[in-house]
Amino acid sequence: MNTPNFTPTKCEACPIRHRAVCARCNADELVELDAIKYYRSYEAGQTVIWSGDKMSFVGSVVSGIATLTQTMEDGRTQMVGLLLPSDFVGRPGRGGAAYNVIATTDVVMCCFRKKPFEDLMERTPHIAHRLLEMTLDELDAAREWMLVLGRKTAREKIASLLSIIARRNTAPTPDKNNDIMVFDLPLTREAMADYLGLTLETVSRQMSALKRDEVIHLDGKRHITVPDMGRLLEEAGDDNDGGFLI
């Protein structure tokens, strides 16, 4: 696990400043970034980028949640990434998109036109370094997920997903050693299934089972309370500190 040391700047709206670029950036870089920056909005369900399309921008999620998915001709789909606020989208130096990017909720993105961004990256090593950092994080996440997909049972998969979302979604609980976590599930059962390589029925059944066994509490379909994070991690199969995803 790797927590970037960045010094937050004044611009709250644009995460790329904080996370993608600003580890040690200087005023000039910020001015340049501001000059090529703009915003885009997408509605829930809308496709942000189609796999294979050429991408004209890179950027990061400001608010909302998007997913990266791959699809086979016969319709089987696998989610390969989850984009939460402050996550970076785009592949500097690459022509086309490799996956579908789909807005799960309404999404606002902070974008930079690709060419100017790449030029800026060429001139400012900090940006390239920060991007390498982030890409290594994503690679770790993807490989962690390969273990989930290849070797875990349905119940373990669900627990793994919940613990990842809990970790990313919860404001640090005032509670002592954040045993308790409360959050809203940003995904439908079908989306969860696509992430986990399961069917939505299996997801539903395992959610019910975890609820029955009091590993989680469900309030409505989406609002979740985890009374004991340690227990959830056990269920996920990574007893230790493990399981850090995207």
Interface residue list for its own copies (CB under 8 A): 2, 68, 70, 72-73, 76-78, 80-81, 91-94, 98-99, 122, 125, 128-129, 131-133, 135-136, 138-140, 142-147, 149-152, 196-197, 237-239
Any idea what the Cα angle at residue 90 is, between residues 84 and 91, rounded to 5°? Answer: 135
Rounded to the nearest whole angstrom, what is the least distance from the CB of residue 224 to its own copies in the complex? 23
Nearer to DNA among residue 20 and residue 203 (C-beta): 203
Question: Hey, what amino acid is at 66?
Answer: A
CB of 23 closer than 8 Å to CB of 6: yes
**CA gap 152, 158 in Å, rounded:** 10
Interaction of residue 43 with DNA, rule CB under 7 A = no
Residue in 78, 200, 228, 231 binding DNA, rule: CB under 7 A: 200
Q: Which of 75, 125, 172, 220 binds DNA (CB under 7 A)?
A: 220
Write the DSSP string, 12-57. Answer: SS-HIIIIIITTS--HHHHHHHHHTEEEEEE-TT-EEE-TTSBP-E
Bridge partners (DSSP) listed for residue 69: 79, 100
For residues 117 and 20, is the Cβ–Cβ distance under 8 A? Answer: no
> Which member of 2, 221, 225, 239 binds DNA (CB under 7 A)?
221
Q: Which of 2, 26, 135, 153 binds DNA (CB under 7 A)?
A: 153
26 binds, among DNA, its own copies, none (CB under 5 to 8 A by kind): none
What is the number of helices (H) and of strands (E) in the chain? 8, 11
151 binds, among DNA, its own copies, none (CB under 5 to 8 A by kind): its own copies
Give the binding site for DNA (CB under 7 A). Answer: 153-155, 188-190, 197-205, 207-208, 218, 220-222
